[in-house]
Structure 1
Amino acid sequence: MNELVIIGAGGFARETAQAVADAGAFKLLGHLDDNPALHGTEVDGVPVLGGCDLVHDLPGARVVICVGNPRDYAARARLVRRLGLTEERYATVIHPTAAVSATSEVGPGSVLLAHCVLTAAVRVGAHVAVMPQVVLTHDDVVEDYATIASGVRLGGGARLERGAYVGSGALVREATTVGAWSLIGMGSAVLGDVPPGEVWVGSPARRLRAADAPALDELAMRTELASRTVGGPLT
Structure 2
Amino acid sequence: MSELILISASGLAREVLAMVRSSGQYDIVGLLDDDKELAGVTVDGAPVLGGIDDAVKFIHAFLLVCMSSGRRRQAVVERLARLGLQESRYATAIDPSVQYPEGCRVGRGSILLRNVTLTAGVTLGAHVVAMPSVTFSHDDDVADFATFAAGVSLGGGVRIGRAACLGMHSSVRDRTSVGDYASVGMGAAVLSNVPDGETWVGVPAHENDVQVFAQDNH
- Indicate which of 59, 67, 74 corresponds to 2:71: 74
Q: 1:187 aligned to 2:184?
A: no
2:166 alignment counterpart: 166
Q: Distance in 2 between matches of 1:61 and 1:124?
A: 23
Please say if 1:156 is aligned against 2:156. yes
User: SS in structure 2 opposite 1:175?
Assistant: coil
Give aligned pairs, total: 210
What letter matches 1:12 in structure 2?
A: L
Residue 128 of structure 1 corresponds to 128
- Structure 2 CA distance for aligned equivalents of residues 159 and 83 of structure 1: 28
* Partner of residue 200, structure 2: 200
d(CA) in 2 for partners of 1:146, 1:98: 18
Normalising by structure 2, report the TM-score.
Answer: 0.93
Within 5 Å, which residues of 2 pair with 1:216-227?
none
1:4 Cα offset (Å): 0.5
If the length of structure 1 is used for normalisation, what is the TM-score?
Answer: 0.86
Query: How well do the aligned residues superpose, as a CA RMSD in angstroms?
Result: 1.5
Q: Secondary structure at the match of 2:64?
A: strand
Matched, 1:47 2:47: yes
State the secondary structure of the residue aligned to 1:100: coil
Q: Distance in 2 between matches of 1:94 and 1:18?
A: 12
Distance apart, 1:212 and its partner CA: 9.7
Q: What secondary structure does 1:53 align onto?
A: helix
* Letter in structure 2 aligned against 1:191: L
* CA displacement 1:141-176 (0-9 Å, x = unmatched): 111000011000000001101110000000100101
Kindly indicate whether residue 14 of structure 2 is the aligned counterpart of residue 14 of structure 1. Answer: yes
Identity of paired residues, percent? Answer: 45
Give the conservation status (yes or no) of the 8 Å contact 1:4–1:30: yes
* Aligned partners of 1:181 and 1:211 also within 8 Å: no
Q: After TM superposition, what 4+ stretches of structure 1 lie above 2 angstroms from structure 2?
A: 209-213
Q: Show the counterpart of 1:106.
A: 106
1:9–1:48: 8 Å Cα contact kept in structure 2? yes
Question: Equivalent residue for 2:80?
Answer: 83
Amino acid at match of 2:113: L
SS in 2 for 1:79: helix
Output the CA distance in 1 between the equivalents of 2:121 and 2:213: 30
Q: Distance in 2 between matches of 1:32 and 1:205?
A: 38
